Amino acid sequence: MGLTSLNQQLLSKIATNDEHGENSPYFDGWKAYDNDPFHLTKNPNGVIQMGLAENQLCFDLIKEWIEKNPTASICTTEGSMAFKDIANFQDYHGLPEFRNAVAKFMGRVRGGRVKFDPNKIVMSGGATGANETIMFCLADPGDAFLVPSPYYPAFVRDLRWRTGVQIIPVTCESSNNFQITIEALEEAYNKTIEANVRVKGLIITNPSNPLGTILDKDTLKSLVNFINERNIHLVCDEIYAATIFRPPHFTSISEAIQDMDSNDDLIHIVYSLSKDMGFPGFRVGIFYSYNDEVVSCARKMSSFGLVSSQTQYLLAAMLSDDDFVERFLDESSRRLECRHKIFTEGLKEVKC
Amino acid sequence: MGLTSLNQQLLSKIATNDEHGENSPYFDGWKAYDNDPFHLTKNPNGVIQMGLAENQLCFDLIKEWIEKNPTASICTTEGSMAFKDIANFQDYHGLPEFRNAVAKFMGRVRGGRVKFDPNKIVMSGGATGANETIMFCLADPGDAFLVPSPYYPAFVRDLRWRTGVQIIPVTCESSNNFQITIEALEEAYNKTIEANVRVKGLIITNPSNPLGTILDKDTLKSLVNFINERNIHLVCDEIYAATIFRPPHFTSISEAIQDMDSNDDLIHIVYSLSKDMGFPGFRVGIFYSYNDEVVSCARKMSSFGLVSSQTQYLLAAMLSDDDFVERFLDESSRRLECRHKIFTEGLKEVKC
């Protein structure tokens, strides 16, 4: 008996399978960059990291804000009075001021056209944790979710690895600009059902990662009808909601369902501060569900990946500052557009 | 068809089962306290919370430290230069200085008689996340772990809920001061095997929660022999390692295996800063394994519950300060002893 089979007995199937997705071209790219990073003068032939979305464009604004708001910290003379309460705080509902601020921020990011209820906000360890939590709440091992392709490569880890849920890719074609059509959804749905696999829902990323496209209101409504007709869930990953720099404006699923007849208990949103604010290190994932039973279950699960109360406290103050949020989001869009222009013009000069 | 059975179809079995453990006497106690909290003058007949271990005794020392070390914060004029790098940081290995500081602190807490390797330290969202991660790495659904009773009530959630692993209580009797005997372990082990359930390991809490007792070196060695003979795992929850205030001194499993012939690939430690430092809000769970394959797998899983980089950065500085750590741990023991004395003497006055 070889070492591998011995270990397969000693460890779990999850530990010894490859569903974490790291043995994939996506992570090969990461490793290639780690081993040979590009530098303009020191390593001009190195690898450029284009697989990671890091928004660092507005940290000067954030730095300015935190210096002006020492009480938001529990690590300054002005703020350290709160250290004891905050470091000890561990309620899995989260600090009320944090949930309020996040709900308000989510509304602002979605153009102020919808309101979010702080009582439906659940914390999780980044969008990674939010994606997994939603699977654990909605599906049993072997159940399937439809996911239009191309999709975020780490969905393999987030959605499948520990939950045992299947991802069924819905083929979208470059010929129609990768639009999600009801025909493609029906085909994937019917094939899955025919294979005796239960379809529990549809997952969309809007704005799309990796495409950068956004779904219009009519398409969103047609997707809501699709899932309502089949009594399956719709999970909307909206972590790039504010990473928009030109028209058309972003439409959230929460806006689309406002004026239509839908069973909202089937609708769930994943959000995060990793992309729009550029805080991936803070691990602020948000799970928002219109289904109270799902909220209650997800909140119990959030014990596995709560946001540090130190970080909750800081962000509660920062995101509650309307003037700062307004200025940050406006400036972020402007700088993204500028960066996009420089980058795409640079790409034109690349000789293949 | 009632609402419940409809929801059971719509949601997962995990969402609709009771394995989260919140419908239990332990959580009934929490709710009773939440609804009617004791207050010396305002509510003298209220409920006293005795189910939650919160160490708040030395926050004056911590407050003093953070005020003297503004660069440890990314939220002060002195520290905000680091904000950009830290908020963006998201490597699931963790900040090297954080892992180094935690490894050093773990050694110091264990009397300096053992050294821990920073490369075997994995972050998780509190001990809650660490406990679950270890189950996902070691066992498949249906597999069992032996757990001497009485045990931490939330083990039900941490170890079983999402993993599908079973807990087999090993009955320990008050007649011998709840000692874990090899006879009791063998009985539980054999019964489980006879029921055709695979035993993957033994979980001990040392110091014990809820007993407050500690295991001596000979007992630890006998447990190591027990698991080695059967090629099963030993998981040691040592989250109260420094919450000791009188002899005998605490012996870590890492110390017990130093001078014996053991397959260390079977040994894993759960640690946390929630109890010894009193930082449950910061969600710093530590998973330490002597098995490199388990470390590698757990690190990939840690993406579901990483520690906020803001918190890692602060704690890296705090725990690297030898003088502070020394003083904190000494003072914490002293104050715990004093508090214990007041509390037990007060209990004697309670009329039943």
Over residues B217-243, the mean pLDDT reads 97
Catalytic one of A120, A134, A152, A232: A152
pLDDT of residue B8: 47
Question: Please, which pLDDT band fits residue B175 given cuts at 50, 70 and 90?
Answer: confident
For the CA atoms of B253, B259, B262, B266, the dihedral, rounded to the nearest 10 degrees, stands at 30
From CA A219, how far away is CA A150, in angstroms rounded? Answer: 17
Q: Give backbone dihedrals phi and psi of B321, rounded to 5 degrees, phi first.
A: -85, 95
Q: Which range has the worst mean pLDDT, B4-13, B92-101, B231-240, B319-328?
A: B4-13
Mean confidence (pLDDT) of chain A:
91
The DSSP letter of residue A157 is I
pLDDT of residue B90: 79
Residue A4 clears pLDDT 80, i.e. is over it? no
Q: Do B314 and A310 make contact, defined as CB atoms within 8 angstroms? A: yes
Chain B stretch 203-232, residues whose beta carbon is closer than 8 A to a beta carbon of chain A? 231
For the CA atoms of A287, A292, A294, A297, the dihedral, rounded to the nearest 10 degrees, stands at 100
Asked if B90 and A280 touch (Cβ cutoff 8 Å), the reply is yes
pLDDT of residue B298: 96
* Residue B280 sits at the chain A interface (C-beta within 8 Å): yes
From CA B260, how far away is CA A205, in angstroms rounded? Answer: 54
Classify domain B70-327 at the CATH topology level.
Aspartate Aminotransferase; domain 2 (3.40.640)
pLDDT tens-place string over residues A236-281: 999 999 999 988 899 999 999 999 999 999 999 999 999 999 899 9
The DSSP letter of residue A286 is E
Query: What is the edge-to-edge ordering of all strands in the sheet holding B121-125?
Result: B121-125, B284-289, B267-272, B233-237, B199-205, B144-148, B166-170
Using a CB-CB distance cutoff of 8 angstroms, which residues of chain A are in contact with residue B142? none
Asked if A289 and A124 touch (Cβ cutoff 8 Å), the reply is no
B261 Cβ contact list (under 8 Å, min separation 6)? none
How far is CA A292 from each of CA A120, A228, A352, B146, B159, rounded to the nearest angstrom?
7, 18, 53, 36, 25
How far is CA A75 from each of CA A261, B69, B70, B95, B310, rounded to the nearest angstrom?
49, 8, 7, 19, 11
From CA A17, how far away is CA A280, in angstroms rounded? Answer: 27
Q: Considering CB atoms only, which of A11, A70, A278 is closest to B293? A: A11
Q: Is A48 assigned a catalytic role?
A: no
Write down the domain spans for chain B: 70-327
* Residue A7 sits at the chain B interface (C-beta within 8 Å): yes
Q: Which two tokens stand for residue A17?
A: 């399978």
* Residue A86 sits at the chain B interface (C-beta within 8 Å): yes
Please give the residue of chain B at the shortest CA–CA distance from A140. B12
Kindly tell me the sign of the dihedral angle through the C-alpha atoms of A82, A87, A90, A92: positive
pTM of the model: 0.94
Three-class secondary structure of residue B232 per DSSP: coil
pLDDT tens-place string over residues A191-219: 999 999 999 999 999 999 999 999 999 99
Residue B4 clears pLDDT 60, i.e. is over it? no
Chain A stretch 127-156, residues whose beta carbon is closer than 8 A to a beta carbon of chain B? 128-129, 132, 136-141, 143
Residue B127 clears pLDDT 50, i.e. is over it? yes
pLDDT tens-place string over residues A82-139: 888 888 887 889 999 999 999 999 999 998 999 999 999 999 999 999 999 999 999 9
Q: Do A314 and B70 make contact, defined as CB atoms within 8 angstroms? A: no
Asked if B201 and B227 touch (Cβ cutoff 8 Å), the reply is yes
Q: Is B239 assigned a catalytic role?
A: yes
**Cβ-based neighbour number of residue A352 at 10 Å:** 2
From CA B179, how far away is CA B75, in angstroms rounded? Answer: 48
Over residues A70-80, the mean pLDDT reads 81
